[in-house]
Structure 1
Amino acid sequence: MSSGAEKPRAASSASRLAAFDYAGLALNIAGVVAGITIWWVLTASGAVGLPRPPDVLSRFIELAGNGQLLRDTAASLARVLAGFLLGVLLAIPVGFAMGWYRIARALVEPYLQFFRMIPPLAIIPLAIVTMGIEETPKIFVIFLASFLASVVATYQGVISVDRTMINAARVLGARDFTIFRRVVVPASTPFILVGVRIGLGSAWATVVAAELIAAQSGLGYRMQQAQLYYDLPTIFVSLFAIGILGLAMDRALQAIERRLTIWQERI
């Protein structure tokens, strides 16, 4: 009888979750429509000196039609992915080593805290002087921004693991490697994924700044060129492209996070 009663409750919970997802999507769409409406009203009334939505849409169609938007988007996206993935792939093992081994923590932490206090954007002039004006300095500063955000989150996740769980595993006879794999890694995964999401935002912010300083392509470069001619619609198109790409990548990371932390209770 109890199992039969649990099935309707489980189905009811699933239906409520689905209803919540649809409601959240509807609210997202409503918020976007409201924002565009307010933007349209303000620009039509002359209250703000911004281009109207139809002007931005027209420029988007023009840039998409001649392939310029696709080329700039591809250039920026390639830089972000290269620097971001390199940063995350190095940050996770370094963060685990710092959190698990005191010697590694003592050796690495001073450098980590030092470079955290220096904005990655301040490294751009030095990177250009030492690495040239090709892709290497741009990818390096993106790597640095992503690495610093992800390594701190990973380190914090490891040292935040409940010592009671580790001690209980030791009492049951688990070795260090088993404890690390079965206790530390799962418990620190939410911290790691939060750091990865922060690193993704830092990567996009850094690539735009890098392209503003030294680039011949990319969305940041396109905004700089549009600024010279006071071409606000082109600037808006580039901003929207960055925002939409960043949002899509962040949603993908959220989906991965939900899959990897399915055991975690959520509000």
Structure 2
Amino acid sequence: MIGLNIVALVFGLGFWQLVTSLGVVGLPTPVQVFNQAIASISSGLLVSDALASLARVLTGFILGIAVAVPVGFLMGWYPTARGLIEPYIQFFRTIPPLAIIPLAIVTMGIGEVPKIFVIFLAAFLTSVVATFQGVISVDRTLINAARVLGARDATIFRRVVIPASTPFIMVGVRIGLGSSWATVVAAELIAAQSGLGFRMQQGQLYYDLPVIFVSLITIGILGLIMDRIVIAADRRLTAWQEKA
């Protein structure tokens, strides 16, 4: 698998170099982007921007998951809670988190709070639905069998429902992670003084394409690393499950 990843990377870089050398589009070459990355790292800008964006993503993402999982379990396990909460979840799911950014800035200011809030919202809405779906998808035969054996609801929830719904939860976590990165970039484009989105905006103002590419690639690398961490956690938590 790693060998195929390396082949894909080499092929992608070669295709990028070919396209730029032919002058098909006005993109910077891989060498120009690499030189800009070295300059940004040397000046400390890339590291500070990456850390700023990463801190926002991690804060909003972790808060979103921490709230989404118990709310999703609550909705899936108790029909009353589902009837009370689900309409609000579905309502806000139809509103893109990016559309909340102007309102968040007006009501919360231009500090870190509105940025973290919209990231929290993006992670929460995807993860809560996945968790809810995981709970209601648990095989009722397993639950009934546990009850026949004398297990109480708390034991059934802990030993049957949580393990069976974990694969669904991890899918929601992965989707929420991607939504968090997309949201933080948009938030930084609108109101920020640091971050990879802010740096891309600066590159746009001065038509500095290498700066934009360096920020884009950095976002992709950070997102890929975080996604691989989530996948590793998923494999550990669902080791009992048969996978292809």
TM above 0.5, yes or no, is yes
Is the counterpart of residue 213 in structure 1 residue 223 in structure 2? no
Candidates 7, 17, 26, aligned match of 1:40? 17
Residue 47 of structure 1: how far off its partner (Å): 1.5
Aligned CA RMSD, in angstroms, stands at 0.4
Secondary structure class of the residue paired with 2:166: helix
TM-score (norm 2): 0.99
The answer as to 2:176 corresponding to 1:199 is yes
Amino acid paired to 1:261 = T
Structure 1 residue aligned with 2:138, among 158, 161, 176?
161
Q: String of CA shifts for 1:87-109, please: whole Å, max 9, x gaps.
A: 00000000000000011101100
TM-score between both structures, scaled by the size of structure 1:
0.91
| Cα distance in 1, alignment partners of residues 24 and 199 from structure 2 | 27
Q: Which residue of 2 aligns with 1:87?
A: 64
Corresponding residue number in structure 1 for 2:107: 130
Residue in 1 aligned with 2:201? Answer: 224
Query: Once the two structures are superposed, what CA deviation does each residue of 1:99-156 show, in whole Å capped at 9, x if it has no partner?
Result: 0001110110010000000000000000000000000000000000000000000000
- The CA deviation at 1:62 is 0.2
Aligned partner of 2:42 in structure 1 is: 65
Q: Deviations over 1:174-219 (max 9, x none)?
A: 1000000000000000000000000000000000000000000000
User: 1:254 aligns to what?
Assistant: 231
**Alignment: residue pair count:** 244
Contiguous gaps of at least 5 residues in structure 2 = none
Aligned to 1:178: 155
> In the alignment, residue 213 of structure 2 is paired with which amino acid?
F
Partner-residue secondary structure (3-state), 1:215:
coil
Q: Write the letter of the residue equivalent to 2:35.
A: S
Larger Rg belongs to = 1
Gaps of 5+ in 1: 1-23
Q: How far apart, CA to CA, are the structure 1 residues paired with 2:189 and 2:21?
A: 31
Displacement after TM superposition at 1:171 (Å): 0.6
